[in-house]
Amino acid sequence: QVLLVESGGGLVKPGGSLRLSCAASRFIFSDYYMGWIRQAPGRGLEWISYISGSGRDKFYAESVKGRFTISRDNARNLLYLQMSSLRAEDTATYYCATARADDGGYYQGFEFWGQGTLVAVSS
Amino acid sequence: DIVMTQSPATLSVSPGERATLSCWASQTVRTNLAWYQQKPGQPPRLLIYDAFTRAPGIPARFSGSGSGTDFTLTISNLQSDDFAIYYCQQYNDWPPTYTFGQGTKLEVK
């Protein structure tokens, strides 16, 4: 069964930076698009970023564009989210997830999820 | 951006009965829609993709329907394990925005 384990969360001051990691195992990591989705405390889900299997194609929600950078290391089966210029509204649990895709590579939902890592932005 | 709206915010249904959850898109998403279930303290679980296809391992009690802007998730013969929050998500646009609805909480009546 696919295993995804996020790490790197914690308390950071507004304007600060943090790098989240997602360790993937039990599947061919480089074959999958991956995404980051966050959930503020007591709130709904917000997709924030998406990366192709090769790492060449990257996409961001407007709320994080220019501040967050997604990347991956396929040799080490790791997904990253570099977050900078953090704001109070970035406080959330951050999940990494695998993208399900059809034979043509078209996205069909986030199929496997990690347990999440909590990021708190506060002075 | 495409806005996804779910209704109702909270739905109270008795075990053994049927629950019907709605999701609307602000513009057509064709059948590019997924449904997720989330229980407290857990990550979401993919239930349905492409509007009506059950993800692997999802019981037949869960069914999705709709296309364009109006979608429904129906859960038949509600089990105690089904009481959770349900989210819809569109994935029609490119570059992707993958917008989620705000969720429907399904609670025991």
pLDDT digits (tens, 9 = 90+) for B72-108: 999 999 999 999 999 999 999 888 889 999 999 999 9
Closest partner CB to A45 (pick from B45, B91, B100): B100
**pLDDT value of position A7:** 98
Percentage of chain A surpassing pLDDT 90? 92
Residue B1 has pLDDT above 90, yes or no: no
Report, as an integer, the average pLDDT of A64-87.
Answer: 98
The half-sphere exposure of B74 on its side-chain side, counting CA atoms within 13 A, is 11
Give the number of other Cβ atoms within 10 Å of residue B50's Cβ.
18
What pLDDT does A105 receive?
Answer: 80
Of B43, B87, B95, the CB nearest to A44: B87
Q: Which of A2, A48, A107 to mutate to test the interface with B (most CBs of B within 10 A)?
A: A107
> Of A102 and A21, which is predicted with more confidence?
A21
Residues of A within an 8 Å Cβ radius of B: 35, 37, 44-47, 50, 59, 61-62, 95, 97, 100, 107-111, 113-116
CB atoms under 10 Å from CB of B28, counted, come to 13
Mean pLDDT for A41-58 is: 96
Interface of B with A in 15-34 (CB under 8 A): 34
Cis previous bond, B95, omega within 30: yes
Task: Measure the CA–CA gap between B18 and B22, rounded to whole angstroms.
Answer: 13
B contacts of A62 (beta carbons < 8 Å): 1
Q: Is the peptide bond before B8 cis (omega within 30 degrees of 0)?
A: yes
Backbone angles phi, psi at A89, to 5 degrees: -75, -5
CB contacts, 8 Å: B105 with chain A: none
Q: Which residues pair with B75 in a beta bridge?
A: B19, B62
User: How large is the average pLDDT for residues B51-58?
Assistant: 97
Cα angle at A22 between A18 and A26, to 5 degrees? Answer: 170
* C-alpha span between B90 and B101 (Å, rounded): 8
Q: pLDDT class for A106, splitting at 50, 70, 90?
A: confident
Instruction: Write down the pLDDT at residue A69.
Output: 98
Which among B42, B49, B99 has the least Cβ separation from residue A108?
B49
What tens digit of pLDDT does each residue of B55-70 get?
Answer: 999 999 999 999 999 9
List of E strands, chain B: 4-7, 10-13, 19-25, 33-38, 45-49, 53-54, 62-67, 70-75, 85-90, 104-108
pLDDT the model gives residue A123: 96
Q: What is the mean pLDDT of chain A?
A: 96
The pLDDT value recorded for residue A104 is: 82
Share of chain B above pLDDT 90, in %: 94
Mean pLDDT in residue range A75-89? 98
Indicate which of A59, A103, A108 best probes the interface with B, i.e. most B CBs within 10 Å of its own CB.
A108
pLDDT in the model for residue A102: 85
Residue B87 contacts A where some CB pair is shorter than 8 Å? yes
| CA pair distance B69, B90, nearest whole angstrom | 10
Mean predicted confidence (pLDDT) in B36-59:
97
Q: Which class for A62: exposed (0-12), middle (13-18), buried (19 or more C-beta within 10 A)?
A: exposed
Higher pLDDT, A107 or A67: A67
Beta strands B10-13 and B104-108, pairing class: parallel
Q: Which of A20, A39, A9, A60 is nearest to B95 (CA)?
A: A60
